[in-house]
A and B are shown apart, each in its own frame.
Chain A
Amino acid sequence: METLEQFKTRIEATIPGARVEIIPNESPSAQRSLLIDAEHAVAVAKFLRDDPQLRFDYASNVTGVDWLDTVLKEKVKVKKVIDGAEKEVEETVEKKRPGYLETVYHLYSMELKHGPVIIRMRTGDRRDQVHLPSLTPIWRGCEFQEREIFDLYGIVFDGHPDLRRILMWEEFQDYPMRKDYVEPDDYEYEPTAHDEVLEKAKRHEGQGPAAP
């Protein structure tokens, strides 16, 4: 199989305007992934599926990730004039990164027996720009998994044939897999509570009606 760098070059050559970024992975698996822009995502996905050398005909897994607003700390070498002499000093620069939601697709090729290749898409933010193109028209098996992401993360997939909640009920308004989700407080009876659950259970103590 080609390397991700070759993928990137070929995608950018084939689809004009497509922006592909390789996301590094510093964990032992070193499994890097391709970040593709939402605008050209369907075209890129179609290319990955149909290109005779790639033929990624199977999306084995689709999932979501919630990234909160964070402050990234980066060490930058800066030239500064100290005591008249110019010196290189290391400084920590803090960058604010607004949060976003992400989808991750794991692709394999049944025909050429290679994979996985991981592609990602990111939304504009976590509040109102949560639309991403659906890849269900490319890989039919994504339908339920995209519905699950819509249900639990609140990413709206444009072009999805049947975008409804799949696990929670229709009237439910929250997105439980988001990191700022507040769960219903039903910790009034926790006989063997410990750690966080104990803290939550203690808030109820002395409030509940006495047992008959």
Chain B
Amino acid sequence: MIDESLRTELSKQGIFTLKLEELYNWSRKNSVWPLQFGLACCAIEMIATSMARYDLARFGAEVFRPSPRQADLMIVAGTVTKKMAPQVIRLYNQMPEPKYVIAMGACAISGGPFKQGYNVLKGIDRYIPVDVHIPGCPPRPEALLHAFMTLQKKIEEQSLTSEQRPRHLHADAPSEFPIPQYGAHDLEPPNNPDVWQPPVVTRTE
């Protein structure tokens, strides 16, 4: 482990010393390429975020890829209907590791205003692991930028060797998640219990 004062002194002379882990995470967090797809009105805000005014390019994420094979980040921007959910999960499965998910907006995190409907999935986190949830209907571009910075922080802090190392460095951690089938009344299964369990609600009444 390098001494902190020596490190500061070296950096003043233009010599940077860092751990491989830091270099690896620094380069990863500054080139997160999102998958280019949108599901509803949140996608409009996502597009606005990527354009000149909000300029997602400042974070190295302006390269929206039209293929899951080239994407690192899935921004679930909009309502996930039950008919669309299997396709979203299939796209996620087709992305290479390491991969991250931002659930953008009320619909993607919980079903939003359509929560009590028969045809809308009550949050994409019922089937795939979500790294950052953003509330809002739709969230402002600033909120998406904040989510993006939160994700960058998360990537930066990932340790490569410890027990908390990210999923793609665990040999036995799943990289693909089961795709639900179209059932006679609902998706089957209605959620993936390995990914999502209903949180305990305590009512004060």
Residues of A within 8 A of B (CB): 167-174, 176, 181, 183-184, 186, 188-191, 197, 201, 204-205, 208-212
Q: Check B116 against A172 for contact (C-beta < 8 Å).
A: no
Q: Which chain B residues border A190 with CB–CB below 8 Å?
A: 201
CA distance A209 to B190 in the complex (A): 15
Q: Check B182 against A170 for contact (C-beta < 8 Å).
A: yes
Q: Check B197 against A212 for contact (C-beta < 8 Å).
A: yes
Which residue of the partner chain, among B185, B198, B199, B201, contacts A184 with CB atoms under 8 Å?
B185
Which residue of the partner chain, among A183, A205, A210, contacts B118 with CB atoms under 8 Å?
A183
Q: Check B200 against A172 for contact (C-beta < 8 Å).
A: no
Q: Check A184 against B184 for contact (C-beta < 8 Å).
A: no
**Minimum C-beta distance from B135 to chain A (A):** 12
CA distance A181 to B118 in the complex (A): 10
Q: Which chain A residues border B197 with CB–CB below 8 Å?
A: 208-209, 211-212
Residues of B within 8 A of A (CB): 82-83, 116, 118-119, 122, 182-186, 190-191, 193, 197-201
Q: Check B119 against A176 for contact (C-beta < 8 Å).
A: yes
Q: Check B118 against A189 for contact (C-beta < 8 Å).
A: no
Q: List 29 A-B contacts (CB under 8 A).
A: A168-B83, A168-B119, A169-B82, A169-B83, A171-B183, A172-B182, A172-B183, A172-B184, A172-B185, A173-B184, A173-B185, A174-B184, A174-B185, A176-B118, A184-B118, A184-B186, A186-B186, A186-B190, A189-B122, A189-B199, A197-B116, A204-B198, A208-B198, A209-B193, A209-B197, A209-B198, A210-B200, A211-B197, A211-B199
Q: Which chain B residues border A173 with CB–CB below 8 Å?
A: 184-185
Given A184-B190, A189-B198, A209-B197, A167 contacting B119 (CB threshold 8 A): yes
Which residue of the partner chain, among A171, A172, A186, A189, contacts B201 with CB atoms under 8 Å?
A189
**Minimum C-beta distance from A202 to chain B (A):** 9
Q: Check B200 against A208 for contact (C-beta < 8 Å).
A: yes
Closest 7 CB pairs of A and B: A184-B186, A188-B198, A189-B198, A169-B182, A208-B198, A173-B184, A171-B182
**Minimum C-beta distance from A94 to chain B (A):** 34
Q: Which chain A residues border B82 with CB–CB below 8 Å?
A: 169
CA distance A167 to B83 in the complex (A): 8
Q: Which chain A residues border B118 with CB–CB below 8 Å?
A: 176, 181, 183-184
CA distance A99 to B199 in the complex (A): 42
**Minimum C-beta distance from B110 to chain A (A):** 9
Given contacts A189-B199, A191-B199, A210-B200, 17 further A-B contacts (CB under 8 A): A169-B82, A169-B182, A170-B182, A172-B185, A174-B184, A181-B118, A184-B118, A188-B198, A190-B201, A191-B201, A201-B201, A208-B200, A209-B193, A209-B197, A211-B197, A211-B200, A212-B197
Q: Which chain B residues border A176 with CB–CB below 8 Å?
A: 118-119
CA distance A190 to B199 in the complex (A): 9
Q: Which chain A residues border B119 with CB–CB below 8 Å?
A: 167-168, 176
Q: Which chain B residues border A184 with CB–CB below 8 Å?
A: 118, 185-186, 190
